[in-house]
Amino acid sequence: MEHDLLAAVTGASVLSGIVLGLSLLHAAVPAVFVALGVSLLISGWKFGARPEGTAGAGVELRQGIALGALVLPFVLLYLSVALSPEHSPDGQTYHLGLVYRFFREHGMSPLRNMYAVIPLGMEMLFLFAFSFGRHAAAAAVHGTALFALPALMAAYGRRLGMPGVGVCAGLLVFLAPVVGADGASAYNDVALATAWFAMFYLLEIWREEPEAGRALLVPAGLLAGFCFALKYTGFTAVLYAAGVVLWHRKPRALLPVGLAASLIALPWPVKNWFWADNPFSPLMNGLFPNPYIHVAFEDNLRAHFRHYGLASLRTLPWEVTVTGNVGGQLGPLFLLAPLGLLALRTAGGRRWLLAMAVALLPYPENIGTRFLIPALPFAALAMVRAFGSSWRIQTALVALMALLCWPKVVARYTGPGSMRIERMDWKPALGITPEDEFLRRRSPDYRVARLVDQHVPPGHLLWSAQPLAEAYLRSDVLVSFQSAEGEVIQDIVATGADRSDFEPTWNLRFTFAPLRIQHLRVTQNARSATDTWSIGEIYLYNGGAEVRPQPAWQVDAAPFPWNLGMAFDRNPATRWNSWQSIEPGMHVDLDMKSAVLLDRVELHCAHDQWKIQPALENCDGASCVPVRAQLARLDLLRPSGIRSRAAQALKARGVEYLLIPDTDWKAPDLAANKALWGLTQVAEVDGKRLYRLE
């Protein structure tokens, strides 16, 4: 069993890499996947080597029967979900939404929303399965990782001569509500935990016999790279693998580990470098500026994920184990996890706790419960080891965990934000309940997706104020927060929807003695974590007459120069925005190519940036001299026709349809002023209104 499990997980990493290559070549079609699958099966049968025997003995028969009886209901529960049509929140929005798009287009194209640029190693496996069995098949692929993880832990326990510890620790992980809900859906966290543990397992075998186990370094490296390909947080597996090799004074072993890891991991940042101008998109946008993901979005996302709205992090252990208000619960029994520190008394226990600590390195950046899953196997091993080797105590731990984690029991103590399985229902899994009927009953997002697919023709762009079930959607969708362009459109809609704070009604007027200027720089000298700098329009004057922008003029900005044209388009519904917190040194440059006589500059800005401190500079080459100007802060009348101007800006960006939920603050204005916006309501479902721009 040990060999087969490790070979299967390693093979998944290779298959993921191959599918990525086919997707980049737009050769991701069922016929190619059939040929690939047959080739891999023949290769495995002809060249695969299988060692004789399996290390270690199993658990006692009595313990095995008891544990099997305890776990069987959960096996059936998880299978009923994994084999049903995918309806999990992230699974039906972006995990399989991207897969469905890749399937339709036979591969990848440069999509610059935040989900398309994260590593999609698991989605490559989903794509392979989706080509044959569609949505349920993709979710079932992740289900194999859910079942493989406790099996790997059991095999590891046998190798150590502690079969009960391995089996019981694996079952504690398996029974955790968040693990079951995640693993039975088209997510990737359980797959990451499985690959992480399999890599650890291979390195443990190599550590026992460094010379005899040299061949294991390649699969260990492949799995380390696969962890990164599954999720950015999986980079910790690469660190651990390199650290283990160096600790055992085998620097030459870094070569096979590093090359194998690079083979699986590097294609993802390389792809992003070419397609998104940032190898680690959607992160590190301050280090790699690009027009696709805003720094402000990344900062806001980080701030949210660091606390999830909790008043104090002191309650976090309770939240992640019991209430599940940070995205799911591990189960109350994991409140005993600190007992695992007793494992520090043994060399093996210290390795478990070290692996757990390394896997947890990224956790402070996202305290959601799912981000604990990769470290959970090591925590469980240490915790079970602390209770000793008595099979009765081990079985009692599993029995208590099973009782506390059964859906009806969990419902008694969980919070509203918990990710969990609520019931067992085999009818959709067996096809007794038709897919459409099941999804319409269980998923509001699916109902909206069907509405959109019915009314928005393929190839026509829809902007949505909320995520959609794109796994069941053929239309092109731009979600408000998932990309820079989506946020710009959100800003335009907000400006048009009677949001006076966003309208350019604040005139920052600079007056000065007539001065010939060729290169004008507008600087921003304040610092604030809450304000971003924006300019609706820039006006230049000489003697009361406007100096109109010329086609030959060149504009630039630092930061975010890409949308600077919106400060000169004379549309009050659009504005240039720095899209990051203000700090001294930000500037907008206007090179007029030849000296122009000016005596006044006006910045028509929105009022949502009270802390900005703008100034003017006259630049010549690399040197800039402050312009001695008097700044007056004046109020302007609200621009007329703002809604129609916003609609013009949307159409200029290719937007033809809008989807707005009634709960959105902009919804009442759009519903009450459809004629002024030039909108026609096409359809409505569950308080979500679909509009067409005329």
- Among the ranges given (125-134, 208-217, 247-256, 533-542), the one the predictor scored with the smallest mean pLDDT: 208-217
CA distance 205 to 22: 33
pLDDT over 80 at 92, yes or no: yes
CA distance 260 to 518: 55
Give the mean pLDDT of 469-497.
95
pLDDT over 80 at 46, yes or no: no
pLDDT over 90 at 601, yes or no: yes
Q: What is the pLDDT of residues 97-116, one digit of tens each?
A: 999 999 999 999 998 799 99
Q: Give 369's pLDDT tier (boundaries 50, 70, 90).
A: very high
Q: Give 7's pLDDT tier (boundaries 50, 70, 90).
A: very high
pLDDT recorded at residue 30: 95
**For residue 464, what are the β-bridge partners?**
479, 659
CA distance 331 to 276: 40
Q: Which of 300, 667, 295, 691 is nearest to 494 (CA)?
A: 667
CA distance 485 to 467: 15
pLDDT over 70 at 41, yes or no: yes
CA distance 499 to 493: 9
| Non-local CB neighbours of 431 within 8 Å, separated by 6+ positions | none
pLDDT over 60 at 364, yes or no: yes
Compute φ and ψ for 539, nearest 5 degrees.
Answer: -120, 135
pLDDT over 80 at 57, yes or no: no
CA distance 295 to 582: 11
pLDDT recorded at residue 479: 96
pLDDT over 90 at 532, yes or no: yes
Whole-model pTM? 0.95
Give the mean pLDDT of 80-105.
96
**542-to-277, 546, 617 alpha-carbon distances in Å:** 40, 6, 17
In the three-class reduction of DSSP (H, G, I as helix; E, B as strand; rest coil), residue 686 is classed as coil
pLDDT over 70 at 33, yes or no: yes
pLDDT over 80 at 213, yes or no: no
DSSP-based helix, strand, coil % in the chain, nearest 5: 55, 15, 30
- One-letter amino acid of 333: L
Pair type for strands 586-605 and 537-542: antiparallel
| Residue 663 near residue 536, CB atoms below 8 Å | no
Pair type for strands 461-464 and 655-661: parallel
Ranges of each domain in the chain = 2-413, 450-496+642-693, 504-635
pLDDT recorded at residue 338: 96
| Residue 83 near residue 429, CB atoms below 8 Å | yes
| Residue 135 near residue 86, CB atoms below 8 Å | yes
Pair type for strands 476-479 and 461-464: parallel
Q: Which of 517, 574, 573 is nearest to 540 (CA)?
A: 517
**Paired tokens of 20:** 């990525």
Task: Give 638's DSSP letter.
Answer: P
Q: Give 376's pLDDT tier (boundaries 50, 70, 90).
A: very high
| Non-local CB neighbours of 682 within 8 Å, separated by 6+ positions | 455, 657, 690, 691, 692
Give the mean pLDDT of 411-418.
89
| Residue 234 near residue 360, CB atoms below 8 Å | no
Q: What is the pLDDT of residues 15-31, one digit of tens each?
A: 999 999 999 999 999 99
| Residue 247 near residue 210, CB atoms below 8 Å | no
Q: Give 51's pLDDT tier (boundaries 50, 70, 90).
A: low
Give the mean pLDDT of 608-618.
95
Compute φ and ψ for 562, nearest 5 degrees.
Answer: -70, -30
Dihedral sign from CA coordinates of 210, 213, 216, 220: negative
pLDDT recorded at residue 484: 96
pLDDT over 80 at 499, yes or no: no
| Residue 566 near residue 576, CB atoms below 8 Å | yes
Give the mean pLDDT of 50-54.
56
CA distance 98 to 116: 7
| Residue 475 near residue 453, CB atoms below 8 Å | yes
CA distance 491 to 485: 10
Q: Which of 545, 188, 234, 224 is nearest to 375 (CA)?
A: 234
pLDDT recorded at residue 47: 75
Give the mean pLDDT of 349-377.
98
Compute φ and ψ for 382, nearest 5 degrees.
Answer: -65, -40
- One-letter amino acid of 17: G
| Non-local CB neighbours of 574 within 8 Å, separated by 6+ positions | 492, 495, 536, 566, 649
CA distance 632 to 610: 14
CA distance 101 to 513: 59
| Non-local CB neighbours of 69 within 8 Å, separated by 6+ positions | none
CA distance 615 to 629: 8
Please confirm whether the linkage preceding 374 is cis (ω < 30° from 0): no
- One-letter amino acid of 340: G
| Residue 172 near residue 209, CB atoms below 8 Å | no
Give the mean pLDDT of 265-287.
97
Give the mean pLDDT of 216-232.
97
Q: Give 50's pLDDT tier (boundaries 50, 70, 90).
A: low
pLDDT over 80 at 555, yes or no: yes
pLDDT recorded at residue 49: 64
Mean residue pLDDT across the chain: 94
pLDDT recorded at residue 210: 77
